[in-house]
Structures are given as structure tokens and as C-alpha cells.
């Protein structure tokens, strides 16, 4: 898939997506969206109050719209777009398709989990330790793997997931297959745990996503980002221009892994449980890749658009046609259509629409 998108899209960056005009439009939309998302929970309370005042009813439409399930879907969208964006750094911008990101995700999750469950502390030391551990392990795994190219690199990362999954299954210190279950503890930002409310998780996930999108937005226009793309387009050419491709790839991997671990920590704090199949599975690894591919690999908005389509699809189809696997069927179709019709993903579709409009 990467090759296709590389061939038709990335090798020949469309003038629209790289012009500074589009960049500022994109920034404008991004900041606008962020502001909207920031006030969304408050807004609905306000609207709900007004609505209840006019039509007194037990459940106002707006309040219902912002029910805990709706927030849950938003939280997942933020989390998965953050994860996919982290993957996008190495997979999209640097062109190294990794199926091993669930390992880093899992390490982050276990970092926070161990901190709370085994040591009875707040999760934060574990979050930091997990991020560093993930970066370190990413470096150790990637160094030999980067000797491989293209598909061979991707296959090697597949194996890494299996190795870590099995290892964590039998590792008694982290409770092995039993997993870590959170005890009932005090709620609050210090513990980053809330049992009934989801609004705080919403802001937590929004902050996480914003942080990662800012990092990638920063990379896009700075030297390191250009190095990444140079390495993607051709390691030899990049090296001939004085870019140390191995170093660039390793730094990108470490950065990506560290950020992915942060997402893992959020995941465990949100679910209050972690066991190896929950986090270190090929399923989870595929999420990183598929969301980005669907949304638009190697683009800033791709991961968000991918998650925006996939997560509601997944959550709502499961709710309404439970157990038919319908979401997977629709999702499969979408991937096929996207790959055939628009290898740049939803991002490509959106920018094409704007392009057509402008010509008219």
C-alpha cells in the first residue's frame, strides 16, 4: 500500500497540498476545530439548559447528543488519531511501514499500569518511564530492522509484535496473562482516573491529540521534516545530499515510539485494565496503519480524517447491528475503494473536491 501511495501521490506532491496558501487554510481550520472541540462539552450543557427551559423534558436532545457514549466515541477518535499521527511520523513522513507500533503502545500502557497497580503511585512516573522505555526499545529493535528495506522491514516488525506479546504473557513481574486491573482509587487529574465522568478524559485525549498534531505540524515545515521526506523518497539520494539516513530514521522511530507510548498510557488509564492481547496484538498494530492509510498517509490531516470515519463507523455499527461484523465489511470496502480510487486517502478526496471547485 505504501508503494502505491508513494507512486501516485507522494513522489509527485500535488501543488495544492504544499502551497503556503493551503497550509494557512489548513492551520486556520485546525485551530478553529480545536477551539470548537474545546467548548463543545460546555456548549451542549448551555444548549441543553436552554432547550430544557423551552421544552421541559427529562432528556433534552442536546444533552442526549452529548451523552457519555457520544463522548466515548469522540475520545476514541482523538486517541486513535493521536496514535495514527504518531505512526505517521515514521510510516508516512519517513516511509518506513512499521507493524510493530502496538509494542510501544503496550509499553506505555504497562508503564502507567505498573505505576498505579503494582506501586500504588500516580501514573505519571510510569507514563514518563514508559515513553522513554518505548523509545529505547524502538531504537534497539529498529537498528537491525532498518538494514531491511520496504516489505522486508514491515515483515520484521510483524515478528516483533509476536515476540513481545509472548514475552509479556509469561512475565510474572507484570502479572503475565492475568493483566493489570486497577484498584478503586481517588479520582482526579493527579491520578488521571474518573469513574463516572467522561468530560475529563475528553479533555485529556484532546490535549494528547493536539500535542501530537502540533509536533507533526512543526516537523512539516522544519529541517527534520524535510530530512524525513528526503529519506522516504530515496535514502541514497538523501545521503548524497548529506542526510544521514540511518540517524534520521532512528530519531523518527524513537520520537514516534515515545509518543505512541503516551497514547498507550492514556488507553490504560481510560480502560482501567491492561493485558497483553489488549495492547500488543497485530489487531492493534493494524489500527495504526489502516487509519492512516484510509485518511491519507504522510499528510497532517490524514490520521484525524481516518479516525473520524473509522471510529464512529466501528462504534455505531457495533451498537446497531451488534455482532455481524458489519463494520469490518464496510471498512474493508472503504479501504479497497480508497486504495483503488484515491491512494492519498480521504485527505486526497477532500483536497480534490476543493480543487475541482476552484476550477469551476
Partner 1 sequence: MNNRCFWLFMFAFLFGILLPVSAEEKILKIGTLFPLTGSCALAGQRCKAAVETAVEIINNKHPEINVPLAAGEGVLGYKIQLVHADSQGKPDVGKSEAERLFDQENVYAIIGCYNSAVTKPASFVAERKKKIFVAGCSSSAALTERKMHYFFRLAPNDRIESKEFCDFVQWLNKNNSSNLKTLGLIYENTEFGKHAADEAKQIASKYEMEVVVDVPFNPGATNLNSEVTTLKDKNPDVIFGACLGGDYTLFIGTVNQQNWLPKVALNYCSGFQDPQISKQLGEKGYYFAGASGYSPDFVKIMPVAEAIEKLYKEKTGVPFDTDSILETVGMLVLGQAIEKAGTIDSEKVAETLHKEEFVSPLSFGGKVTFDEQGQNNKAMSVVVQLQNGEYRRVYPPEYSTASVTFPIPSWDKRK
Sites of contact with partner 1 (CB under 8 A):
64-65, 67-69, 72, 76, 166, 169-170, 176-179, 181, 195-196, 267, 271-273, 275, 277-278, 309, 312-313, 315-320, 322-325, 328, 337, 341, 349, 353, 356
Nearer to partner 1 by Cβ, of 35 and 337: the residue is: 337
Contacts of 144 (CB under 8 A, 6+ apart): none
270, 233, 256: which is closest to 112 by C-alpha? 270
Partners of 193 in beta bridges: 188
- Nearest residue to 83 via CA among 62, 97, 104, 64: 104
Question: C-beta of 271: minimal distance to partner 1 in Å?
Answer: 5
Select from 288, 270, 274, 269 the least CA-distant residue to 169. 274
State the nearest-atom distance from the C-beta of 94 to partner 1, in Å: 29
Minimum distance between the CB of residue 224 and partner 1, rounded to whole angstroms?
34
For partner 1, the closer CB: 30 or 277? 277
C-alpha cell at 215: 509536533
Residue 240 vs 322, nearer CB to partner 1: 322
Q: Is 139 or 339 the residue whose CB approaches partner 1 more closely?
A: 339
Closest contact distance (angstroms) between CB of 312 and partner 1 is: 6
- Would you call 193 helix, strand, or coil by DSSP? strand
Which one, of 156, 130, 126, lies nearest residue 141 by Cα?
156
Taking the complex as a whole, the smallest distance from the CB of residue 352 to partner 1 amounts, in Å, to: 8
**Alpha carbon distances (Å) from 132 to 145, 148, 162, 254:** 20, 25, 21, 9
Nearer to partner 1, 80 or 93 (CB): 80
Residue number, 299 or 317, with CB nearest to partner 1: 317
Rounded to a whole number of angstroms, the minimum distance from the CB of residue 257 to partner 1 is: 21
Cβ pair 262, 108 in contact under 8 A:
yes
Amino acid at each position: 500500500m505504501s508503494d502505491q501511495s508513494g507512486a501516485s501521490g507522494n513522489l509527485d506532491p500535488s501543488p495544492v497540498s504544499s502551497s503556503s496558501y493551503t497550509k494557512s487554510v489548513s492551520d486556520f481550520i485546525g485551530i478553529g476545530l480545536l477551539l470548537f472541540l474545546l467548548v463543545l462539552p460546555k456548549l451542549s450543557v448551555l444548549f441543553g439548559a436552554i432547550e430544557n427551559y423551552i421544552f421541559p423534558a427529562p432528556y433534552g436532545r442536546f444533552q442526549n447528543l452529548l451523552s457519555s457514549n457520544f463522548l466515548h466515541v469522540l475520545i476514541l477518535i482523538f486517541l486513535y488519531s493521536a496514535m495514527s499521527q504518531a505512526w505517521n511520523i515514521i510510516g508516512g513522513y519517513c516511509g518506513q511501514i512499521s507493524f510493530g507500533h502496538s509494542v510501544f503502545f503496550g509499553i506505555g500502557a504497562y508503564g502507567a499500569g505498573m505505576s498505579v497497580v503494582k506501586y500504588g503511585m500516580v501514573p505519571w512516573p510510569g507514563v514518563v518511564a514508559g515513553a522513554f522505555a518505548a523509545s529505547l526499545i524502538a531504537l534497539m529493535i529498529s537498528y537491525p530492522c532498518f538494514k531491511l528495506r520496504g516489505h522486508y522491514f514491515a515483515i520484521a516488525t510483524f515478528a516483533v509484535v509476536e515476540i513481545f506479546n509472548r514475552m509479556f504473557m509469561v512475565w510474572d513481574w507484570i502479572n503475565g496473562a492475568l493483566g493489570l486491573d486497577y484498584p478503586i482509587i481517588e479520582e482526579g487529574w493527579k491520578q488521571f482516573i474518573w469513574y463516572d465522568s467522561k468530560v475529563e478524559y475528553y479533555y485529556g485525549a484532546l490535549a494528547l491529540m493536539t500535542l501530537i498534531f502540533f509536533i507533526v505540524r512543526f516537523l512539516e515545515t522544519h529541517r527534520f521534516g524535510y530530512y524525513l521526506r528526503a529519506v522516504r523518497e530515496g535514502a541514497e539520494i538523501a545521503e548524497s545530499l548529506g542526510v544521514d539516513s540511518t540517524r534520521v530514521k532512528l530519531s523518527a522511530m524513537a520520537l514516534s515510539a515515545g509518543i505512541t507510548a503516551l497514547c498507550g498510557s492514556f488507553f490504560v488509564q481510560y480502560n482501567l485494565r491492561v493485558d497483553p492481547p489488549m495492547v500488543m496484538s497485530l489487531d492493534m498494530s493494524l489500527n495504526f496503519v489502516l487509519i492512516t492509510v484510509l485518511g491519507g498517509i504522510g499528510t497532517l490531516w490524514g490520521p484525524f480524517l481516518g479516525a473520524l470515519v473509522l471510529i464512529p463507523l466501528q462504534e455505531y455499527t457495533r451498537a446497531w447491528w451488534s455482532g455481524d461484523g458489519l463494520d469490518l465489511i464496510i471498512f474493508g470496502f472503504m479501504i479497497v475503494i480508497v486504495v483503488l480510487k484515491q491512494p492519498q486517502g480521504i485527505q486526497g478526496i477532500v483536497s480534490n473536491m476543493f480543487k475541482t471547485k476552484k476550477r469551476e
